[in-house]
């Protein structure tokens, strides 16, 4: 339900224009279901979660965004934008003991459903299934999503999780018994990614995946791969102009003119009075700032989380956002090294951060990418050293990676390996 609610933030069917409200209602509903379920337990096994460094960093960031209500051009808009961010974080605390493989499986099921419905939307919705104005000249499928980039971003996310599951040996725990369905899912996701023409998110997902492989795990092999990757990056950087020209000659659209114009117009709204603290979190979409954009196209956001953060919360908010991302990256990377595994959360944090260069994920409207990243970070950051040692010794204790013996009762997994208590 959490994954469905997360994806609902990115949906739009034309004749139903309330998906944002539906998503928020579903998210709040998920939260209260977990609260009631936890309160209903009388055996002491209800909600227990320890606040970790990324939680305190997130709370500090949320508090700063909330403080912007004091000077926001619309305190109500700031609060309405901020409230779902808080609900997402609290809900992930209830889900932090979910096995990684179960979380991956849930994302892939929703991705398969979204991809199938997006294909069905072509004959049902006709032209509405495609982006109204194509940036490439070719049809850009958006399906049931409100933008082709959101469709492409979610498909790339699902494919990235499949690659990491394969590298970790988790694939047996998430795939179906039918090889046809397994191969068909990958082909379906690749097809939808291609039809969406979401080149930016596809490239950012690839970069995040490569960085995850380079930075994850321990040992000599990791450093060999890291050195090879670094040398390759230096070669590409040294021949960047030739590579860029080659992409253009091959027909790849490298034009960022449209986004660059939105970036510049957004930055034009930053004044000396707002440079430090901004106009207030979540306010760029308000009519007060319509004057920044031409009447022919009113951008709903800055097409960059970082530029939007600068506009809405100033230099202070931008620095706080960078600090939050750094903390999340460090937490995800430490888990990867500690458990000697390829981290789903590291991939998702890197993907969300790089995707925020040209999209809105870390500021303003919630996205499926941000919510799913928060979920996996909550899960992996709470896998303890004792659980890791138990996994190395018995194959039990690390959600999503354990290799269980035939007939093993998973209900007898040591609860102490994953159970922690709420502390300050």
- Asked if residue 420 is part of any domain, the answer here is no
What confidence tens digit (pLDDT) does each residue in 304-355 have? 899 999 999 999 999 999 999 999 999 999 998 888 889 999 999 999 999 9
- Asked if residue 403 is part of any domain, the answer here is no
In the chain, the number of structural domains is 1
- d(C-alpha 237, C-alpha 74), whole Å: 44
What confidence tens digit (pLDDT) does each residue in 217-232 have? 666 556 666 676 667 6
Mean pLDDT of 16-24: 48
Q: What is the pLDDT of residue 312?
A: 93
Percent of the chain with pLDDT over 90: 32
Q: What is the pLDDT of residue 341?
A: 87
147: its two tokens: 């933008």
- Cα of 135 vs its chain's centroid, Å: 24
Q: What is the pLDDT of residue 397?
A: 41
- d(C-alpha 144, C-alpha 157), whole Å: 17
Residue matched to tokens 């939307």: 121
Give 402's Cβ-side CA count (13 Å radius). 25
Does residue 261 have a pLDDT over 90? no
SS3 for 191? helix
Banded model confidence at residue 107, pLDDT cuts 50, 70, 90: very high
Residues 6+ apart with CB under 8 A from 318: 306, 309, 310
Residue matched to tokens 């469905």: 4
- Asked if residue 66 is part of any domain, the answer here is yes
Residues 6+ apart with CB under 8 A from 223: none
Mean pLDDT of 379-390: 66
Q: What is the pLDDT of residue 179?
A: 78
Best CA proximity match to 99, nearest among 398, 409, 343: 398
What confidence tens digit (pLDDT) does each residue in 269-279 have? 999 999 999 99
- Asked if residue 413 is part of any domain, the answer here is no
SS3 for 377? helix
What confidence tens digit (pLDDT) does each residue in 170-205 have? 888 887 777 788 888 899 999 999 988 888 889 899
Does residue 154 have a pLDDT over 80? yes
Q: What is the pTM of this model?
A: 0.79
Mean pLDDT of 131-138: 72
Does residue 120 have a pLDDT over 50? yes
- Asked if residue 409 is part of any domain, the answer here is no
Residues 6+ apart with CB under 8 A from 323: 57, 61
45: its two tokens: 């096994």
- Asked if residue 334 is part of any domain, the answer here is yes
- DSSP conformation class of 11: B
- DSSP conformation class of 18: -
224: its two tokens: 């060999």
Computed on alpha carbons and rounded to an integer, the radius of gyration of the chain in Å comes to 22
256: its two tokens: 């960022």
Percent of the chain with pLDDT over 70: 70
What residue spans of 239-304 are helical by DSSP H?
Answer: 240-249, 257-268
Residue 6's domain comprises 2-37+44-242+255-397
- Asked if residue 417 is part of any domain, the answer here is no
Does residue 6 have a pLDDT over 80? no
- DSSP conformation class of 141: B
Rounded to 5°, angle at Cα 25 from 289 and 418: 110
Mean pLDDT of 90-96: 87
- Asked if residue 110 is part of any domain, the answer here is yes
Rounded to 5°, angle at Cα 11 from 5 and 14: 140
Mean pLDDT of 235-263: 62
């Amino acid at each position: 339900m959490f994954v469905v609610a997360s994806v609902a933030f990115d949906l739009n069917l034309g004749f139903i224009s309330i998906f944002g409200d539906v998503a928020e209602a579903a998210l709040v509903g998920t939260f209260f279901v977990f609260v009631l379920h936890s309160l209903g337990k009388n055996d002491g096994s209800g909600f227990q979660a320890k606040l970790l460094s990324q939680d305190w960093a997130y709370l500090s960031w949320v508090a700063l965004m909330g403080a912007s209500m004091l000077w926001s051009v619309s305190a109500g808009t700031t609060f309405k934008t901020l409230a779902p961010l808080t609900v997402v974080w609290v809900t992930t605390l209830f889900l932090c003991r979910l096995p990684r493989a179960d979380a991956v499986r849930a994302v892939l099921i929703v991705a398969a459903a979204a991809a199938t419905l997006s294909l069905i939307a072509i004959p049902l919705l006709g032209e509405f299934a495609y982006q109204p104005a194509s940036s490439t000249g070719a049809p850009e499928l958006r399906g049931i999503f409100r933008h082709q980039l959101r469709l492409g971003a979610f498909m790339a996310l699902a494919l990235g999780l499949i690659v990491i599951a394969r590298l970790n040996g988790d694939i047996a725990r998430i795939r179906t018994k039918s090889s046809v369905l397994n191969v068909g899912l990958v082909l379906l996701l690749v097809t939808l990614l291609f039809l969406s023409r979401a080149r930016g998110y596809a490239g950012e997902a690839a970069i995040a995946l490569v960085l995850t492989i380079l930075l994850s795990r321990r040992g000599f092999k990791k450093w060999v791969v890291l050195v090879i990757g670094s040398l390759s990056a230096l070669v590409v950087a040294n021949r960047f102009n030739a590579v860029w020209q080659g992409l253009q000659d091959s027909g790849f659209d490298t034009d960022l003119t449209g986004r660059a114009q939105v970036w510049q117009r957004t930055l034009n709204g930053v004044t000396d009075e707002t440079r430090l603290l901004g106009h207030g979190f979540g306010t760029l979409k308000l009519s007060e700032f319509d004057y920044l954009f031409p009447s022919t196209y009113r951008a709903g956001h800055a097409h960059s989380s970082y530029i939007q953060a600068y506009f809405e919360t100033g230099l202070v908010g931008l620095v706080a956002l960078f600090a939050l991302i750094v903390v999340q990256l460090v937490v995800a990377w430490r888990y990867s090294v500690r458990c000697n595994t390829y981290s789903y959360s590291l991939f998702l944090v890197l993907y969300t951060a790089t995707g925020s260069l040209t999209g809105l994920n870390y500021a303003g409207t919630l996205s499926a990418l941000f919510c799913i990243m928060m979920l996996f970070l909550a899960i992996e950051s709470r896998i303890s050293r004792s659980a890791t040692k138990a996994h190395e010794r018995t194959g039990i204790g690390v959600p999503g990676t354990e290799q269980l013996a035939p007939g093993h009762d998973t209900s007898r997994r040591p609860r102490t390996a994953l159970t922690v208590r709420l502390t300050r």
